[in-house]
A and B are shown apart, each in its own frame.
Chain A
């Protein structure tokens, strides 16, 4: 992992990415708190996970989808195109 202590610049960058407006005091406060938490998660470095597959979700389900049901009343065909009611 990278050097986990966050700089003020990084905090402002992350806030911008997350569309959050921070005051100058907040930047300072969050810088400390977030750095503290990131230092704690450094412990994950101790474990070798090189050949371990990541887990995205634990339900084991794959490709769940609903069958498309076409409602023929909602469109008409016109010269090979679908014609529907305007929305705007």
Chain B
């Protein structure tokens, strides 16, 4: 098997057993990138300064679980001395002087940055088409969008250019591309992964997040990047530990089949309503019935989240307001180019947010949206009193063609209708491949849980991937 095609778990095992070297693994990925990136445009920057020799001595390797593993990052993560653009011409030549906390944690574990991936500029978008460096193409069909805004990250994982990738999910920007590209995508609980060094979009919604080939891989990376960070005042530690997380990961031995007891699954009816594409509905419903085969299943029942229909409106007021504040720092004085380099979507969102926060409109828009956010969160709180998790589709439609939704901003915003509620409530959501359309395009589902319930989501996700093999399908890119 070609080394870049291994899962993270298998690659770690192979490196440990000295079946191949890290150099061979990284070179396999670089070869893949060289071959496919011209077609896919997944990477903005490929790391030319890769140094694999003697890394153990030069780096402060503390735990080396990910020793020698190549990964990619959405270009909104600040990486020391590696160009970081946020997908925008404003930062076209910006070389950061520090690493984001998640980058620091991965480097300390021995992981290797293979490149920075393409994304919608400032993470504003659901299709990758708002990148100032051209859109990424969906590896399953080059005429289609890979989803956004973490478009390049998702494409880089499914096209086997790296073993995992980091992205961000503010309104669905991990789950949508994960779903469109057939990879696993985790949006953690807000606050569980440090935002320090992540180019800010909407500070009360941004979640650094993970793309991986399997749930098992995703869990490994999550254990390393999550946890309290003194540089991020909104970050939170793990709820309780029975065993130190890293020693578990280090053991790497065959784990017994995951146990789930008396799990109650909720199916939110508002997510399966009128706007949902029939093919998506059929595929996700079929995936839900797969859970009936789960040994520890308690029940599957219908749940109502009555304020779902207001999610997009609330999100596009709150998020754009926070964006207008966060993007005010780009004045071209201390770094980057000036504000004339902002493209249309950035300008649109900055103006929408400025308007919503301006005198005379603040109460009617921003404050109203904050109150609605309380109601949306309460919907989830009430639901989780009755069930342990909720399962729903990620996208109301299958992957769409590049150019299909770009003319009307609102049409593009409505792609987020099923993903934004989880961001507004701050809860985690795990996106999993669960099928394909008749034309061979991937469909994903999401498993949402209460805050801090990632461990439960992983257990359920791993079980699903024991019962199915959707996640093993890869696009033919020859």
**Chain A residues with a Cβ under 8 A of chain B:** 1-2, 6, 10-11, 14-15, 17-22, 26, 30, 33-34, 36-38, 40-41, 43-44, 47, 49, 52-59, 61, 64-66
Determine the main DSSP class of B at the interface with A. Answer: helix
Given contacts A17-B358, A41-B365, A54-B374, 11 further A-B contacts (CB under 8 A): A15-B351, A36-B408, A37-B352, A37-B413, A44-B372, A47-B307, A47-B375, A49-B368, A53-B371, A53-B374, A61-B236
B320's nearest neighbour on chain A, judged by CB, is: A37
Q: Is the CB of B347 within 8 A of A44?
A: no
Q: Is the CB of B370 within 8 A of A55?
A: yes
Q: Mark B353-386, 1 if CB is under 8 A from A, else 0.
A: 0110010110011011111111101000000000
**Any A CB within 8 A of the CB of B350:** yes
Shortest CB-to-CB span from A86 to chain B, Å, is: 21
Q: Is the CB of A20 within 8 A of B339?
A: yes
Q: Is the CB of B350 within 8 A of A57?
A: no
Q: Is the CB of A55 within 8 A of B339?
A: no
Residues of A close to B180: CB separation below 8 A: none
Q: Is the CB of A40 within 8 A of B410?
A: yes
Q: How many residues of B contact A (CB 8 A)?
A: 51
**Chain B residues with a Cβ under 8 A of chain A:** 190-191, 204, 230, 233-234, 236, 307, 309-310, 312-314, 316-317, 324, 328, 331, 339-340, 342, 347-348, 350-352, 354-355, 358, 360-361, 364-365, 367-375, 377, 408-410, 413, 424-426, 451
Q: How far is it, in angstroms, between the C-alpha of A47 and the C-alpha of B266 when the chains are bound?
A: 25
Cross-interface CB contact of B342 among A20, A37, A55, cutoff 8 Å: A20
Residues of B close to A66: CB separation below 8 A: 230
Q: Is the CB of B310 within 8 A of A44?
A: yes
Residues of B close to A19: CB separation below 8 A: 328, 331, 339
Residues of B close to A22: CB separation below 8 A: 347
- With A44-B372, A49-B372, A52-B374 in contact, do A37 and B410 touch (Cβ < 8 Å)? yes
Q: How far is it, in angstroms, between the C-alpha of A9 and the C-alpha of B407 when the chains are bound?
A: 24
Instruction: Name 16 A/B residue pairs within 8 A (Cβ), A-sorted.
Output: A14-B351, A14-B354, A18-B354, A26-B347, A34-B352, A36-B410, A37-B409, A37-B410, A40-B312, A40-B410, A41-B316, A43-B310, A49-B368, A59-B191, A61-B191, A64-B233
Q: Is the CB of A34 within 8 A of B355?
A: yes
Q: Is the CB of A52 within 8 A of B375?
A: yes
Q: How far is it, in angstroms, between the C-alpha of A20 and the C-alpha of B90 when the chains are bound?
A: 13
Residues of B close to A17: CB separation below 8 A: 354, 358
A10's nearest neighbour on chain B, judged by CB, is: B355
Q: Is the CB of B233 within 8 A of A61?
A: yes
Q: How far is it, in angstroms, between the C-alpha of A11 and the C-alpha of B347 when the chains are bound?
A: 11
Shortest CB-to-CB span from B15 to chain A, Å, is: 37
Chain B CB within 10 Å — which of A11, A20, A40, A61 has the most? A20
Q: Is the CB of B365 within 8 A of A20?
A: no
Chain A CB within 10 Å — which of B191, B317, B368 has the most? B368
- With A34-B351, A40-B410 in contact, do A52 and B364 touch (Cβ < 8 Å)? no
B306's nearest neighbour on chain A, judged by CB, is: A47
Shortest CB-to-CB span from B29 to chain A, Å, is: 36
Shortest CB-to-CB span from A39 to chain B, Å, is: 9
